[in-house]
């Protein structure tokens, strides 16, 4: 790689971002640097704009009529992702996303994982097989499904489905993985597995996770950003946020007094 | 006092009762009664179609019986032989036409061509004349057979008259109506006796034809040698067939009863729908069924790509503003009355298509150019316009019902819009789209006015030998025949009942299509996620 | 800085072009449909307006709209081509002594107007829709308010779905067999009403159920919790809110009823009838008379008389009036329903 990113250098830089849904503003003047190969948690009460910010990072908001960036920029590896020469589809290959509710395609487990590669025109069976296995292993799902790769993904349990979605995401080798409350629909056991998985993935990917669950943020993130009413209130290493927050609103939120 | 125990009247409401029913029960029963109206109507439709139509089989059986008893069947064997010869003669005229076109294109013009063809013409004439003895025999026997049939019919009428007179209590007058049962066996004796003559005629015919094919004229144009040779082969196989026909006449059994299944088979697989004929009426479904299916096929070929394509575009690619205009507009098209579309076909579209077909650079299209304004294509185009809104609306619904999470996941993996649509959304909606297409098919097959006005109304199985060119032939359809002939038939007659039978087939067909559409929709629906 | 910009640069141009072409094809399909529909609509509107409208006041051809059909006679008279309706022609022949044996070409139905057809269609639609609404709404109330999902109800729903797919000509045969023959009503208004009502029943039931379903469950629960009986709940807390929806959606049924020809061909429609529907001696005769109807008249004038400059007038004129009537009803229904759907998101 031409410019080697060190563990602490930022991979995503958000500066002075204003974002609107039609005429309704959702984000104001957000400045945030997301370090590479770390887990950054976005927390805050419902409607604070954390999901919106997440969906800005791979421009999923483009799908919503009237949603647009009013001011400011998002740079990934220094490239403005709203720039004219940027292809949103290439962007999404580099910035993968895992959704709140698991959303496997109504296809076989194998085809779910292979989907991203097939899109890029990969037909080589051996390579597909290899990537499927590698991705499922990476998502700690291989042992559970290796005997039924050709069965429908809809037959998996909720937690397995979510890990399948993660596997599907890492199959296209993104650099950044966005997770939008990935555990909110799961039971505690499945949640624990996903959190464990996140810990393993951090060594290779930069992860941004939106969560409502304070313990989750505390447990598995390195950095935490607290949002309130569309503004970034505080951004600091997770330990600092939960032990000595600088802002009284942050303190009120993390200690459970509102939200 | 109140504290001592539960009051028995608490929670009991005093209600008026009538026949043991509270008003609420009665209201409920009233609504429930209305709810089953749909079931009742379906049952009534079945009942009345069967009630009016079922008599058809008995009547048709009788119809076929008379066909046999009166010897029409016998004579038809002869006629078939005659027709096969006529087909051969027609082959010769085609040959001549081709030769003439070649010759007259030369420098010497038409007159020289005529001269060059003189030998050929003499040959053709001799060939045509060879059948004359058989034709004479055939028409003589046909007269005998129709004579028998007429006698029988007259007698039937008399019987009916007598029955009516007796019913009116005029026994005296009834006795005066003479009814002489027809002795079919005796009446048909001249037919059977003619078999000897037929063999004789055939022998002469065979020698003549074989002689003719052995000495064909020199081909007027060298290119036609192959065709002439093929003609010779056809003549030989025709002659070889003659003993089979004789055998058929020999073994013809006038007294052989018509099986009950015969009447059904003659309806379902009959290749002719021929009514009010002086010779023999046939009520065969096939020409109508093939007509209906052919028109529906053309309509769906046009409507499926357009309807599904439009649904995909509107659902996946159109802006909200575009959606808001296009969807109601297509829905609006579905309100066009079919009779107006049929009129448009007669007044405008038929002629436009005919002229388009005559554009020289479109000559490669099968069937083009055509001269018949009203045909399968004209009707099919208009029916497509009827089917598109149905298919579009239901297919768009199906696409809309695909959970949004699926395309989102696909896009987040770096798929383009089109890839997402074709690989994720379309397959997920496929069962809904197939069922939409099936319902469109039901709509098209059941449509009456457009085909009645625009399909050309020629009752014959279309000629499939010309491949796709079949789509510019005029046809008649099941719906069209009912609409056209229902007004003219005598109530209770076999023709009347045959039309009800066609209606019953149509009804069952539509039920089957509907049922299939629902099965597909339910069976392959996505698990709600 | 050149290396990083490579990360998100566009894919190859050929691939993008291919996608653009495919999407353009889908788009072309959409607009081809609209174009075809618009073409038919415009042709009939344009050519028909020449019959229905005129240059001088009152700008609408009242003769065409408000008189009965007559034969058209075309003949040469004193070197000029004359066109006259039946009555005018007779008067003309009496007036002009030399005209008694003038040779005239005649075209039936091509003069006069279509008033009996308009009246007949309106009567057919009004009666059929009243019947269908009464039965259909009751049926929908039962299905959505009373019935519990069970085998029988599923059967009823299946029947409704299947009824919707029955071809209209089969309804015509059924109506003929049941009402015209079995009940002995002959070809009559009332036989047409019932036939059309049964045909449109599934549309009305489905539309009504949709409207009933749109009323929030909370309203029902609230009424029941206040001690209302089931019927009281329906009457006070459900039907009033569902009614606008039921009515607007059912207008689409009107378009269907008015637009169909096949079911009335043998049950209610006459090719020609001299008297208007309300010119009857006894009140019962009103129900048991056949009527002229616009769709049937279009069928008759487009298939039973030749196509030429003289007949085109009445052909296009009738199609224009009929299409406009049906289109207005349909457009009103679609617009009202879309507005209602937008408003009724509880």
- Residues of C (6-45) whose Cβ lies below 8 Å from A: 7-11
Q: What is the pLDDT of residue B455?
A: 93
pLDDT digits (tens, 9 = 90+) for A16-74: 999 999 889 999 999 999 999 999 999 999 888 899 999 999 998 888 888 889 999 99
- Residue C205 in this model has a pLDDT that exceeds 70: yes
Q: Are B414 and B372 contained in the same domain? A: yes
Q: How many domains does chain A have?
A: 1
Q: Do C198 and B41 touch (CB under 8 A)?
A: yes
pLDDT digits (tens, 9 = 90+) for A105-154: 988 999 999 999 998 888 999 999 999 999 999 998 999 999 999 999 99
Q: Are B317 and B251 contained in the same domain? A: no
Q: What is the pLDDT of residue A57?
A: 92
Which position has the higher pLDDT, C263 or C82?
C263
> At A180, is the pLDDT very low, low, confident or very high (cuts 50, 70, 90)?
very high
Domain closes at, from B260, B294, B322: B260
> At A1, is the pLDDT very low, low, confident or very high (cuts 50, 70, 90)?
very low
In chain C, residues with a C-beta closer than 8 Å to the C-beta of A90 are: 7-11
Residue of A nearest to C12 (CA): A87
Q: Do A172 and B413 touch (CB under 8 A)?
A: yes
Q: What is the pLDDT of residue A38?
A: 93
Q: Are B342 and B454 contained in the same domain? A: yes
| Residues of chain B scoring pLDDT < 50 | 1-2, 527-529
Q: What is the pLDDT of residue A3?
A: 39
In chain A, residues with a C-beta closer than 8 Å to the C-beta of B416 are: 89, 119
Half-sphere exposure (Cβ direction) of A91: Cα atoms closer than 13 Å: 24
What is the mean pLDDT of the segment spanning C310-339?
Answer: 88
Residue of A nearest to B320 (CA): A65
Q: Are B476 and B394 contained in the same domain? A: yes
Q: What is the pLDDT of residue B199?
A: 87
Which position has the higher pLDDT, A157 or C55?
A157
- Chain B residues at the A interface, defined by Cβ less than 8 Å, are 319-320, 403, 405-406, 408-416, 419, 423-424, 427-428, 526-527, 529
Averaged confidence pLDDT in chain C: 87
Q: Do B415 and A89 touch (CB under 8 A)?
A: yes
Q: What is the pLDDT of residue B451?
A: 95
In chain C, residues with a C-beta closer than 8 Å to the C-beta of B37 are: 135, 139, 201
CA atoms of B81 and B199, how far apart (whole Å) = 13
CA atoms of C298 and C301, how far apart (whole Å) = 5
Q: Do C168 and B442 touch (CB under 8 A)?
A: no
Q: How far is B406 from chain A (nearest CA, A)?
A: 6
ipTM of the complex as predicted: 0.91
Q: What is the pLDDT of residue A130?
A: 95
Q: Do A106 and B427 touch (CB under 8 A)?
A: yes
For residue B7, tell me if it sits in a domain.
no
Q: How many domains does chain B have?
A: 3
In chain A, residues with a C-beta closer than 8 Å to the C-beta of C1 are: 78
The CATH number covering residue A223 comes to: 3.40.50.300
Domain closes at, from B53, B73, B93: B53
Q: Are B255 and B326 contained in the same domain? A: no
What structural domains and CATH numbers belong to chain C?
70-112 (no CATH), 115-343 (1.10.3720.10)
Strand runs labelled E in B252-302 = 273-274, 282-283
Q: SS3 letters for B33-99?
A: HHHCHHHHHHHHHHHHHHHHHCHHHHHHHHHHHHHHHCCHHHHHHHHHHHHHHHHHHHHHHHHHHHH
Q: What is the pLDDT of residue B247?
A: 87
pLDDT digits (tens, 9 = 90+) for C157-176: 999 999 999 999 999 999 99
- Sign for the pseudo-dihedral over CA of A160, A161, A166, A168: positive
CA atoms of B515 and B435, how far apart (whole Å) = 10
For residue A165, tell me if it sits in a domain.
no
CA atoms of A167 and A138, how far apart (whole Å) = 7
A87 part of contact set with chain C, CB < 8 Å: yes
Q: What is the pLDDT of residue B8?
A: 56
The residues with which C84 forms a beta bridge, in sequence order, are C73
- Give the rounded percent of residues in chain A with a pLDDT score beyond 70: 97
Q: Which structural domain range is residue A225 located in?
A: 10-103+178-254
pLDDT digits (tens, 9 = 90+) for A69-90: 999 999 998 889 988 888 888 8
Averaged confidence pLDDT in chain A: 89
- Residue C10 in this model has a pLDDT that exceeds 80: no
What is the mean pLDDT of the segment spanning C14-38?
Answer: 93
Q: What is the pLDDT of residue A42?
A: 94
- Residue C6 in this model has a pLDDT that exceeds 60: no
End-to-end CA distance of chain B: 59
- Residue C334 in this model has a pLDDT that exceeds 50: yes
To 5 degrees, how large is the angle CA B338–CA B343–CA B349? Answer: 105
Q: How far is C4 from chain A (nearest CA, A)?
A: 6
For residue A41, tell me if it sits in a domain.
yes
Q: How far is CA B430 from the centre of its chain?
A: 30
Q: Are B44 and B63 contained in the same domain? A: no
Cβ contact C189:C269 at 8 Å: no
Place of tokens 């046809």: B475
Among B296, B387, B448, B504, which would you mutate to test the C interface (most chain C Cβ atoms within 10 Å of its Cβ)? B448
pLDDT digits (tens, 9 = 90+) for C106-134: 888 888 889 999 999 999 999 999 999 99
Q: Are B326 and B419 contained in the same domain? A: yes
Q: What is the pLDDT of residue B168?
A: 86
Q: Which long-range contacts (CB under 8 A, 24 or more apart) does A244-252 make?
A: A250/A226
Q: What is the pLDDT of residue A125?
A: 94
For residue A71, tell me if it sits in a domain.
yes
Place of tokens 């709940």: C233
User: Which of B408, B414, B527 comes nearest A103 by C-beta?
Assistant: B408
In chain C, residues with a C-beta closer than 8 Å to the C-beta of A81 are: 8
Q: Are B314 and B452 contained in the same domain? A: yes
Q: Do C156 and B39 touch (CB under 8 A)?
A: yes
Q: Are B133 and B62 contained in the same domain? A: yes
User: Which of B409, B419, B427 comes nearest A103 by C-beta?
Assistant: B409
The CATH number covering residue B357 comes to: 1.10.3720.10
CA atoms of B267 and B501, how far apart (whole Å) = 9
The residues with which A68 forms a beta bridge, in sequence order, are A20
What is the mean pLDDT of the segment spanning C199-222?
Answer: 89
Give CA separation, B372 vs A75, B287, B470, C135, in Å.
Answer: 68, 19, 12, 47
Cβ contact A76:A90 at 8 Å: no
Q: Which structural domain range is residue B43 located in?
A: 23-53
For A123, the token pair is 């037909």
Q: Coil, helix or strand for A234?
A: strand
Q: What is the pLDDT of residue B1?
A: 44
Q: What is the pLDDT of residue A2?
A: 38
């Amino acid at each position: 790689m031409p410019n080697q990113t060190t563990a602490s250098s930022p991979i995503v830089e958000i500066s002075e971002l204003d974002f609107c849904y039609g005429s309704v503003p959702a984000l104001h003047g957000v400045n945030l640097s997301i370090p590479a190969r770390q887990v950054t948690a976005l927390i805050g009460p419902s409607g604070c704009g954390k999901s919106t910010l997440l969906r800005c990072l791979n421009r999923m908001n483009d799908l919503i009529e009237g949603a647009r960036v009013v001011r400011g920029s998002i740079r990934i590896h220094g490239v403005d992702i709203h720039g004219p020469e940027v292809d949103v589809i290439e962007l999404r290959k580099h910035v993968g996303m895992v959704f709140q509710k698991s959303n496997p395609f109504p296809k076989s487990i194998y085809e779910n994982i292979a989907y991203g590669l097939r899109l890029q025109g990969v037909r080589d069976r051996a390579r597909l097989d290899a990537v499927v296995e590698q991705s499922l292993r990476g998502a700690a799902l291989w042992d559970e499904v290796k005997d039924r790769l050709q069965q429908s993904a809809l037959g998996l349990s909720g937690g397995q489905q979510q890990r399948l979605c993660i596997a599907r995401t890492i199959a296209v080798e993104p650099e950044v993985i966005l997770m939008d409350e990935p555990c909110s629909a799961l039971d505690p056991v499945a949640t624990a597995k996903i959190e464990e998985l996140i810990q393993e993935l951090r060594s290779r990917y930069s992860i941004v996770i939106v969560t409502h669950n304070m313990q989750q943020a505390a447990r598995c993130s390195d950095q935490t950003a607290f949002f309130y009413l569309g503004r970034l209130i505080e951004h600091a290493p997770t330990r600092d946020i939960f032990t000595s927050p600088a802002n009284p609103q942050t303190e009120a939120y993390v200690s459970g007094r509102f939200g | 006092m109140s504290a001592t125990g539960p009051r028995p009247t608490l929670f009991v409401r005093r209600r008026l009762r009538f026949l043991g029913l509270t008003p609420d029960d009665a209201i409920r029963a009233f609504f429930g009664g209305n709810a089953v109206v749909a079931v009742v109507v379906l049952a009534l439709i079945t009942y009345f179609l069967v009630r009016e139509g079922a008599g058809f089989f008995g009547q048709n059986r009788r119809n076929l019986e008379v066909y046999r008893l009166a010897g029409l069947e016998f004579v038809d064997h002869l006629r078939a032989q005659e027709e096969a010869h006529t087909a051969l003669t027609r082959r010769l005229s085609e040959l001549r036409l081709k030769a003439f076109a070649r010759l007259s294109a030369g420098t010497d013009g038409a007159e020289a061509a005529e001269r060059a063809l003189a030998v050929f013409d003499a040959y053709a004439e001799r060939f045509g004349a060879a059948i004359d003895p058989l034709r004479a025999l055939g028409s003589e026997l046909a007269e005998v057979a129709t004579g028998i049939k007429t006698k029988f019919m007259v007698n039937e009428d008399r019987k009916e008259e007598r029955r009516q007179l007796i019913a009116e209590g005029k026994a005296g007058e009834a006795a005066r109506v003479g009814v002489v049962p027809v002795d079919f066996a005796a009446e048909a004796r001249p037919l059977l006796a003619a078999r000897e003559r037929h063999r004789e005629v055939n022998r002469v015919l065979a020698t003549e034809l074989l002689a003719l094919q052995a000495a064909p004229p020199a081909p007027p144009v060298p290119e036609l040698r192959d065709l002439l040779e093929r003609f010779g082969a056809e003549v030989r196989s025709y002659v070889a067939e003659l003993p089979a026909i004789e055998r058929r006449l020999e073994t013809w059994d006038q007294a052989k009863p018509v099986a009950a299944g015969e009447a059904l088979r003659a309806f379902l697989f009959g290749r002719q729908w021929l009514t009010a004929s002086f010779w023999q009426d046939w009520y065969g479904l096939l020409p109508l069924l093939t007509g209906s299916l052919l028109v529906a096929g053309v309509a769906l070929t046009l409507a499926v790509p357009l309807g599904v394509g439009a649904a995909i575009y509107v659902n996946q690619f159109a802006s909200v503003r575009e959606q808001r205009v296009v969807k109601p507009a297509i829905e609006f098209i579905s309100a066009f009355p079919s009779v107006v579309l049929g009129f448009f076909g007669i007044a405008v579209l038929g002629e436009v298509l005919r002229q388009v077909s005559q554009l020289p650079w479109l000559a490669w299209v099968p069937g083009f150019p055509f001269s018949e304004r009203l045909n399968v294509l004209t009707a099919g185009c208009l029916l497509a316009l009827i089917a598109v809104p149905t298919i579009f609306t239901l297919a768009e619904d199906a696409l809309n019902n695909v959970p949004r999470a699926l395309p989102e996941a696909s896009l987040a993996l770096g798929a383009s819009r089109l890839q997402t649509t074709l690989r994720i959304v379309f397959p997920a909606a496929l069962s809904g789209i197939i069922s939409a297409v099936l319902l469109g098919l039901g709509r098209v097959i059941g449509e009456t006015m457009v085909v009645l006005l625009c399909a050309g109304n020629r009752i014959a199985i279309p000629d499939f030998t010309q491949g796709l060119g079949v789509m510019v032939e005029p046809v008649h359809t099941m719906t069209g025949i009912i609409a056209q002939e229902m007004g003219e038939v005598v109530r209770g007659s076999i023709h009347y009942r045959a039309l009800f039978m066609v209606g019953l087939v149509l009804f069952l067909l539509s039920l089957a299509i509907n049922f299939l559409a629902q099965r597909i929709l339910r069976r392959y629906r996505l698990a709600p996620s | 800085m050149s290396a990083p910009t490579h990360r998100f640069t566009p894919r190859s141009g050929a691939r993008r072009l291919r996608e653009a072409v495919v999407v353009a094809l889908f788009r072309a399909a959409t607009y081809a449909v609209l174009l075809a529909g618009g073409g038919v609509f415009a042709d009939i509107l344009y050519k028909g307006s020449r019959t229905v409208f005129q240059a001088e006041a009152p700008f609408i051809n009242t003769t065409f709209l408000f008189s009965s059909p007559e034969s058209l006679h075309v003949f040469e008279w004193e070197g000029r081509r004359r066109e006259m309706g039946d009555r005018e022609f007779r008067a003309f022949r009496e007036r002009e002594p030399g005209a008694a044996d003038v040779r005239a070409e005649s075209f039936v139905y091509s003069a006069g107007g279509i008033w009996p057809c308009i009246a007949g269609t309106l009567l057919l639609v009004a009666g059929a829709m009243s019947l269908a609404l009464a039965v259909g709404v009751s049926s929908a109330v039962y299905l959505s308010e009373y019935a519990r999902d069970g085998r029988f109800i599923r059967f009823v729903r299946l029947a409704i779905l299947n009824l919707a797919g029955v071809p209209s000509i089969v309804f015509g045969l059924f109506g003929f067999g049941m009402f015209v023959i079995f009940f002995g009503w002959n070809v009559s208004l009332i036989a047409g009403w019932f036939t059309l009502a049964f045909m449109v029943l599934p549309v009305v039931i489905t539309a009504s159920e949709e409207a009933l379903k749109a009323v929030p469950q909370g309203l029902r629960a609230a009424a029941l919790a206040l001690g209302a009986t089931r019927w009281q709940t329906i009457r006070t807390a459900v039907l009033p809110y569902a009614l606008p929806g039921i009515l607007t959606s059912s207008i689409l049924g009107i378009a269907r009823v008015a637009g169909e020809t096949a079911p009335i061909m043998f049950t209610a429609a006459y090719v020609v009838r001299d008297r208007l529907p309300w010119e009857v001696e006894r009140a019962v005769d009103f129900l048991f008379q056949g009527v002229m109807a616009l769709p049937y008249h279009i069928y008759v004038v487009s298939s039973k008389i030749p196509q030429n400059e003289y007949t085109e007038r009445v052909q296009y004129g009738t199609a224009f009036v009929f299409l406009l009537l049906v289109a207005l009803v349909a457009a009103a229904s679609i617009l009202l329903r879309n507005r209602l759907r937008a408003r009724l998101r509880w």
